[in-house]
Structure formats: C-alpha cells, structure tokens
Amino acid sequence: MHIVVCVKQVPDTKIIKINPKTNTLDRRSAPAILNPYDAHAVQEAVRIKNLTGGTVSVLSMGPPQAVAVIKKSIEIGADRGFLISDRAFAGADTLATSYALSKALEKISMDLEVDMVICGKHAIDGDTGQVGPGIARRLDIPPITNVIEVTRINLPEGNLIVKRKQISGYELIQSELPCLLTVEKDINDIEYAPMPNMIKAARYEPVVWSVSDLGEVDRKQLGLKGSPTIVGKMFTPPKLEGGKMIEGALEEQLNELMDILMERKDLFSFNNSK
Amino acid sequence: MPEKFDVIIVGAGPAGTSCAFVCAKNGLNVLLIERGEYPGSKNVMGGVLYRKQMEELIPEFWKEAPLERPVIEQRFWMMDKESVVQFGYKGLEWGQEPYNNFTVLRAQFDQWFAQKAVEAGALLVNETVVTECLVEDGKVVGVRTDRPDGDVFADVVVLADGVNSLLGKQLGFHKEFRPDEVALTVMEVINLSKDKINERFNLSENQGCTIEIFGDSTKGNLGTAFLYTNKDSLNIGVGTTLSSMIKAKLKPYELLDYLKTHPMVKPFLEGGESAEYLAHLIPEGGYRSVPKVAGNGVVVVGDAAQLVNAIHREGSNMAMASGKMAAETIILAKHEGDFSESSLNRYREELYGSFIMKDLEKYKDATHVFEKYPQYLRDYVPMVNRAASKFFTVDGTPKKDKQKEIMRSVTGEKGTIRVLKDIYRAWKAVK
Ligand SMILES: Cc1cc2nc3c(=O)[nH]c(=O)nc-3n(C[C@H](O)[C@H](O)[C@H](O)COP(=O)(O)OP(=O)(O)OC[C@H]3O[C@@H](n4cnc5c(N)ncnc54)[C@H](O)[C@@H]3O)c2cc1C
C-alpha cells in the first residue's frame, strides 16, 4: 500500500497578525508550521501503513523552507518526502496548486503506484478545502472529504470504508482504491513520535523537484498565471457587540438563561398569542 | 538497535551549540538534543552578547546573525528613591567593525546559531527532554529521552542543560543549590518604536545602550537590574539572590513592577507595550560553586557548570568558550579512543587555565561579601546620592566646606573606622 499525503507549510494563524492598512496576513509575524489538519493526515497514513504495510510518502509545494514540514512528517512516521519548489509555482491559487500537485503525484506514481492520497480538510491560512478535491478530479479518482475514521481497508478487493462528518450526522462510504481522502482533526490523536523517527527526520533530506523535473507540464496552468482567483478583500470579522454574559453557578446560569429566553416574544409560540 | 553517536549534547543554548558546532566541523557524529520547540524558545538573557567568544567560532558573525543593536554606550546607575548617580562610557568606535558587544533576543539568536551547527553537520532534535544519563560500569554511555524508544548512545555526553542541571545532579556532580548560590531574575520585553528608543536613549540608527542599575532597583538587596535597547523593544529585568529574596520577603514580579514605575525608569518605558514576560535563574555562586566538570564519558559546560561572572554579567560568552574547550578535548579523545575521566580532564585543565576560571577566581569572594554585608547597596548608594546632590547644589557654600560636610556626613552616620573597613572589604573582594 502506497499512501501519499499532501502537506502544506502555513503561518500559525493562532498567532498571526493582519496588517490593518493593507488587510493582508503579515506572514512574518507568525512562525511557519505544518498545517494542523495535514499532521493528522500524516498520522492516519502512518496508522494505516502499520496495519497494511507499505510506504508513506509526503508531498509539498512551497519555498525551500517548506522542507521543515516534510521533516516534521518524517517525525510522525512518513518514510520519504518530495518538495516541489520553483519560482514558477509562486502565487498559485487552489486551481494551480492542485494542478502542480497532481503532476507531482503522477511522477511519484510512475516510480511506485499510489493507492491512496490523503490531505488535510483545509489549510488554516486559506480555509478553502479545494485543493484535495481538485487533485482527485485531475487524477480522476473519487474524493471523500471530511473523513473522521478509516473504518476498514480491504486490500485484496481494492476498496475501503470510511466515516465522514456531515452537517446533520455521519455517513459511511465504501469506495474503490485509489481514492483521495481529506481528514478532520478528530480522525486521530497525534502520537508522541519515537526517538528514532526524530533522528531520522533530523537527518532527512527530501527530494526537491523543479518544474522541469515534472515532465510534461503546461506552464500556463502554474503559479500566478494559472490562477484565476482574485482576493477581493481580507478583513478581520467585526467584533460582535452587545450580548450579555451570564455568570454564576450552573443552576443560576440556566435559570437566568431560561428567564431571558422566555421573555423573548419571537422565540416561543405561546408568547405570540398574548 | 539504538543508534550510537560520537557525541550527544544535551541543551542547545550557547554552550551546547558551540560544542556541537566545533565537534561537527571536525567531522564528529553529533546529536544535539533540545527540549524547547526550537533552540532559544525557552531561553532568557538580559541580552548582551560579547563579540570575542562568538567571533572565535564564526568570524564576522555580525554580518549574518540576528543581532539587535551594537552597544555603543554602557551606563551604570546608583539609584536612590528619587535620584540617581550615573557614570558610563559612550564611544563611536564600538559602533563600527569589529564592534564590542551587541544586544540580542535569544529566541532568534539561539535558533540561528543552532542552524549553523546543523549546517556544520550536527543533527538537531527539538521538543525532546533528556530524562537521565545512561550509566554502565561507572561510565556514561548515552542518554534516555522522554520519547518512545528513547535511548541513544554515544562515546561522550555533554551536559549543557543550563543552570539547574538535573542531569548533573543525577550524576552526583551537583548538589542542590544553596539560596545564596543562585539569583532569580525576571525580565520583560517591552515593544517600543525605534524612533522613541533613539530619542529617549540619545541614539542614532543601529546604536544601542545598556544601563545597569544598582541600589533602589532591588530595594537595596543584593542584585542588579538592567535596561537594554533592542531594535524596536526594550529588555528590562531585575534579580536578586534567592537568599535575599527570601530574607526580604520579596516577590520577583513585584520587584519588577517597582522598577518599572520608579521615577528614574518610567519615562524610558512610557507608551511601550509588554510583549513577553520571562523568569530564569542565574548561577552566582562563582568559583567555589563550580562542580566537577568531567567524568567517565561526560563533561559539563556553560551554566550547568555554573560558569557565570555575576559582577560583569558575563555568562553566554563563558558558555561558548567552555563549549568550545570541551569540543576540543572530545576531538582529541576521539583520536586517542579514550573517553575516560582522565582523558576528558584535559577540558578541566583548559577551563582552569582560561579567562573563565581566572575571572571567577578573582571575584570568588565578591558575592559572598556583598551578601554578608548588605550595607553596600542598602546604605552607600543612598549616601552617594545625597553627597552628589549636596555637592552639585549651588547654595553659596564654598566647595571646600561642602566636601568637608559631605565627608562628615558619611563618616558621621557610620563612624570612620566602619566606613574604612567597608571600603577595604569591598576592595579586597574585587581587586
Ligand atoms: C535575566 C538574565 C540576564 C542575563 N544577561 C546576560 C547578559 O546580558 N550577557 C550574558 O552573557 N549572559 C547573561 N545571562 C547569562 C546567560 O543567559 C547564560 O549564562 C547562558 O545562557 C548560558 O548558556 P548555556 O548554554 O549554558 O545555558 P542555557 O542558555 O540555559 O541553555 C540550556 C539549554 O538546555 C535545554 N535543556 C535543559 N535541560 C534539558 C533537558 N533535560 N533535555 C533537553 N534540553 C534541555 C534548555 O531548553 C536550553 O535551551 C543572563 C541570564 C539571565 C537569566
């Protein structure tokens, strides 16, 4: 079983500041980290590998510093990593990104056929969640998003069953392999990596590919040129005003809340009749 | 099969990183283990980095290291409640290559320095705590970490784990600190615009200033405070020996608040925004507190070996120098294939022959004297302030009479003999 996990280096948005004048993310204000959802994606791939045997590869597109997230993935237990890094990729939106990554995946697959691709649900710096499905579409494999559990893998028959989160509940899905999953954080807990992985990661140097290493590529579909998305505006959501903080013991809080709700005419029909 | 390295270094502060850098440069197989998220993430320093010892490792480091400002002015304050007597030196030659020293923020500096060791070939593993040294037949053979499959082996383990060296204690090299052997320091990083800093400290672009503050900064207790300029922030901190703190029932953060609102200090900070609050111990026992620094398969460097000159606030430079000396000994030991205590004791000899132990020996009584006789900071600083005030107040008294009056008031308060004794004692401690 060969699983490829797509990972992204993102600024830690828990810390990042938005420049109030230009309304853009001030990327220097926050340390770069492995996108948290992607960390769970790697962990899940490693968990599956430990059950079925095989190889976990990670793939990232980014500047040379993005090697750090590949090393982080090796710590979690990935076997090898690929970074595609080139000026030509710069400024890519989700369309151009999924194109570039799918090209790299094709190349990886030529060497060792890929049975499954896993991505995080979305990257915390863009929140679009489009790259995973975009890759699946281009590779013509089924995308299954918001996965919270890989329930069963049936290698001989070449299929798997996963549980996905829906707004109103859960869904169990059976899909053929290869397929692409995007995962939620609930799918697993990141394990404290064993020491040999840490040493391996410290030593690891990933394969770095430029555009010309990817074989036949339509350069018009890469980077800024291949990106029709225009960011109209970025802003911090306005602080909600008003409201009332209910304090006290739980019982008191509940009573007060009920009193408030009961007084709201529009909430309960029996109040309307008055 | 767990891996075996030539050297495992515990702690990526200035001591450990220097050692890793030199060992790796010389082709040794080095593992550097750091418990922080990255080197420097937990480290605390007032912020003065000395050029000399750093330059011996990386020539012209100032061209690429993340430094804040070259220090061109050093001020010393003897501060009373509403006054201060100051002296200092400002020299433009310190603003040019090769510079004298720099202010730094350790979170950035340590990370950069560790990266240099990695480029030289050392392996750096972060977010990993070494929980104990592995000992076999009286010889340290490796370390145990808090990770699964956590044991790693090496010919030599270097303890660079900082002031409260738990590993040194585990090996019996260290005893628990006595409260007068260690100072507790708290410090705050305060963001302030570059322009405001330059204006308030009378500096130009890329010029820095340090102020050491004695006296009321510690409410007369044994210790000091400091105020240093970064690019667009200030480091302000204060510390006293743990014993003084206990005796005077001081709380460190209260002391820092007191300092920040002191009328002599407050104007420098006004409008600044608190960015970070840190607390850390400083080993101040000096010469007599230096533990055993070499054993079978193990050496101790930097703060872990208590190598700090409290009087001159030098620590990071001693850490670097000791790390380098340890590395040189380890390289020799590797050539000879002998990692016994007697082989590694070469490091001890180097250390005792160097400026580090000579400086520590020179001041070996200083902290103890100042601890035992608290009058220096408590009584003499205010006295000097009163004398200066009297001397510089123009009130029609002839200067000669003023001098007499000042002398009288000094000896009158304490008695001539006691004052002379105090002066002699202090002179002896630092001569
Ligand atoms: C407030 C303050 C102001 C100071 N001002 C100055 C100054 O202006 N100039 C100056 O030269 N010196 C100054 N010093 C002293 C200076 O900071 C120290 O002497 C210096 O940092 C010592 O370096 P080190 O590498 O020995 O230890 P540290 O810098 O303390 O590094 C020890 C490292 O080991 C790691 N570690 C510890 N235990 C473990 C473990 N079990 N496993 C893995 N990793 C571990 C720590 O995370 C840390 O990174 C100051 C100190 C303080 C507290």
pTM for this entry: 0.89
Beta strands in B11-83 (DSSP E): 30-33, 48-50, 69-79
Which residues of chain A does B29 touch, with a Cβ-Cβ cutoff of 8 Å?
none
List the single range of A17-21, A141-145, A150-154, B261-265 with lowest mean pLDDT: A17-21
Q: Last residue of a domain, which of B263, B283, B303?
A: B283
Q: How far apart are CA B415 and CA B419, in angstroms?
A: 6
Q: Is 80 exceeded by the pLDDT of residue B73?
A: yes
Q: Last residue of a domain, which of B283, B302, B334?
A: B283
The predicted pLDDT at position B427 comes to 75
Q: Is 50 exceeded by the pLDDT of residue B66?
A: yes
Q: Is the distance from CB of B157 to CB of B143 less than 8 angstroms?
A: yes
Residue B125 and residue A193: Cβ atoms within 8 Å? no
Same-domain status, B132 and B188: no
Q: How far apart are CA B102 and CA B209, in angstroms?
A: 9
Same-domain status, B190 and B306: no
| A123-126: long-range pairs with CB below 8 Å, 24+ | A123/A8, A123/A10, A123/A35, A123/A37, A123/A38, A124/A10, A124/A13, A124/A35, A124/A36, A124/A37, A125/A10, A125/A11, A125/A13, A125/A16, A125/A25, A125/A35, A126/A94
Which CATH number covers residue B334? 3.50.50.60
Residue of B131, B282, B325 to mutate, ligand 1, most atoms within 8 A of C-beta = B282
Residue A194 and residue B147: Cβ atoms within 8 Å? yes
Residues with CB under 6 A from ligand 1: B 10-16, 33-36, 39, 42-48, 129-130, 160-162, 185, 187, 237, 280, 282, 302-304, 308, 313-317, 319
Q: Is the distance from CB of B334 to CB of B26 less than 8 angstroms?
A: no
* Residue at B341: amino acid letter: E
Q: Are strands A2-6 and B84-90 parallel, antiparallel or unpaired?
A: unpaired
Rounded to an integer, the average pLDDT of A111-127 is 93
Interval A239-272: pLDDT, tens: 788 888 888 899 999 999 988 888 877 766 654 4
Same-domain status, B239 and B315: no
Residue B147 and residue A202: Cβ atoms within 8 Å? no
Interface contact A156, partner B, CB < 8 A: no
Determine the 3-state secondary structure of B69 from DSSP: strand
The predicted pLDDT at position B271 comes to 94
When the pLDDT of each residue in chain B is averaged and rounded to a whole number, the result is: 92
Q: Last residue of a domain, which of B262, B283, B304?
A: B283
- Supply the range of the domain harboring residue B114: 4-68+104-176+289-352
Q: Domain A2-226, CATH 3.40.50.620 — does that match? A: yes
* Residue at B148: amino acid letter: P
Rounded to an integer, the average pLDDT of B161-188 is 91
Q: How far apart are CA B324 and CA A250, in angstroms?
A: 61
Q: Is 90 exceeded by the pLDDT of residue B80?
A: yes
- Nearest Cα residue in chain A from B129: A195
pLDDT above 90 coverage of chain B, percent: 71
Same-domain status, B270 and B157: no
Rounded to an integer, the average pLDDT of B289-314 is 93
The predicted pLDDT at position A207 comes to 95
Interval A68-102: pLDDT, tens: 999 999 999 999 999 999 999 998 999 999 999 99
Q: Could you tell me which residues come within 8 angstroms of residue B197 by beta carbon, excluding any fewer than 6 positions away?
A: B203, B229, B232, B234
Which residues of chain B does A194 touch, with a Cβ-Cβ cutoff of 8 Å?
147-150
- Peptide linkage before B98 cis (omega within 30 of 0): yes
**Number of structural domains in chain B:** 3
Interface contact A193, partner B, CB < 8 A: yes
Q: How far is B125 from chain A (nearest CA, A)?
A: 6
Q: Is 60 exceeded by the pLDDT of residue A28?
A: yes
Residue A202 and residue B149: Cβ atoms within 8 Å? no
Q: Does residue B81 lie within any of the structural domains?
A: no
> Quick one: pLDDT band at residue B77, thresholds 50, 70, 90?
very high
Rounded to an integer, the average pLDDT of A137-155 is 96
Same-domain status, B152 and B171: yes
Ligand 1 mean position, distance from CA B31 (Å)? 19
The predicted pLDDT at position A135 comes to 96
The predicted pLDDT at position A21 comes to 66
